Structure 1
């Protein structure tokens, strides 16, 4: 028995080769906010390290960064350019 395959011309297909590369300009706001807050963050992490129950708080932030880095390519493929700019603006606001 032979099987026939049908294709649906209206379905969207994800192709990552044809997408334009993201510019570094979308990251200037979050990077500048992090650089501006670097002295305050350093003081905060030093203070929390001295407290016993907050000692592992920097490890939590490092874990979030590592998990985000691990899933970043998949998130970029599924996101549209408008959502990427909203993400950058949200990270800058945080």
Structure 2
């Protein structure tokens, strides 16, 4: 996509996923889960539990109007839930 205004020309190439270059929700969840699997081995948390936590936290942001920080927030909340056991 090319944006041109007087004195300003920008090009933006869309990545796979949603139009506009943002990954789809499923791609975002997959990327977050893959990063966290590298950090937390199956002995620490099962892959199914990890994936469920990521999906659950991601779902909390379904109505967020600004999506840029959603992956960061989801990853942070998931890490915190693993590292800080509930009492």
User: What TM-score comes out, normalization by structure 1 length?
Assistant: 0.29
Higher share of residues assigned helix: 1
- Asked which structure has the greater CA Rg, the reply is 1
Q: TM-score, length-normalised on structure 2?
A: 0.30
Which structure exhibits the higher relative contact order, with contacts defined as CA atoms closer than 8 Å and separated by 6 or more residues?
1
Greater share of strand? 2
